[in-house]
Amino acid sequence: MSDIVTLDVNDGVAVITLNRPEVRNAANAALAADVAAAVDEIDARADVRVTVLTGSGGTFCSGMDLKAFLDGERASLPGRGFAGFTDQPPKTPTIAAVEGAAVAGGCELVLACDMVVAAENAKFGVPEVKRGLVAVGGALLRLPQRIPYQLAMELILTGDLMDAPTAHTAGLVNHLTAPGTALDAALRLAHKIAANGPLALKASKEIMQRAPRWSPDEAYDQQRAIAQTAFESQDAKEGARAFAEKRQPVWQGV
């Protein structure tokens, strides 16, 4: 990775930072490749339990770098999606920490995350139609699952922006923070999650993501199959033992 994307890991939490503040963290081919490399590293590391995605310089991400696009660059990778992230985010629970604009592909990065912490002055939107483009980085698929269908349709077809308080009321944002503190709040949430059993976290996320594709007749069998590894793990025994002994569990991830 170059310095346009940074990856920091501390106490089970990985932070991916988009670092092109001079273009409001717009994504070009190099940024997409670096983000994909960061995701691969996270997925390969046993010590990462939660991932936070954020941007530097007071902006989350302004979407695709249009100048790079006109020069023939593409900000998407085959199988990985926009910015090397939207089609294949980390397997860990993932939190978007949003300051400033999260628009176009930047909004789609937010939608690829499992939770959202946003500054009160943050803005979200998919204005692709204003430029004759289509939001194929996940907004058309995910936004109607996160907020009411009619509201999602209006945002997509008008290209208008939604402020963070409205996004919070609509259910897109988990927590609102004062400007400049979104990352700190996201890290507090991330460490709270990371204190739990890593196998249970991954299984719970996988079940919740796959459940919409299961029929009612198969849902319980499917979730049991995924959860079985966690139930049979040493961590499950450690969790019960720690509860009985009135102490914090020491997870091994096995």
In this model, does residue 2 exceed pLDDT 90?
Answer: no
* pLDDT confidence band for 216 (50 / 70 / 90): very high
In this model, does residue 27 exceed pLDDT 70?
Answer: yes
Picking from 80, 92, 95, the residue whose alpha carbon sits closest to that of residue 33 is: 80
CA distance 61 to 25: 5
Number of H helices, E strands in the chain: 10, 11
φ, ψ dihedrals at 91, nearest 5°: -75, -20
Confidence (pLDDT) at 94: 97
Q: Give the percent of the chain with pLDDT over 90.
A: 90
In this model, does residue 152 exceed pLDDT 90?
Answer: yes
In this model, does residue 69 exceed pLDDT 90?
Answer: no
Domain boundaries, the chain: 5-194, 198-244
User: Is CATH 1.10.12 the right assignment for the domain spanning 198-244?
Assistant: yes
DSSP state of 61: B
What is the chain's mean pLDDT, rounded? 95
Confidence (pLDDT) at 1: 67
CA distance 76 to 54: 18
Confidence (pLDDT) at 254: 84
Confidence (pLDDT) at 131: 86
- Which residues carry out catalysis? 108, 128
Look at the domain 5-194 and name its fold: 2-enoyl-CoA Hydratase; Chain A, domain 1 (3.90.226)
φ, ψ dihedrals at 179, nearest 5°: -55, 135
In this model, does residue 67 exceed pLDDT 90?
Answer: no
Give the rounded distance of the alpha carbon of 138 from its chain centre. Answer: 12
Q: Give the percent of the chain with pLDDT over 70.
A: 100
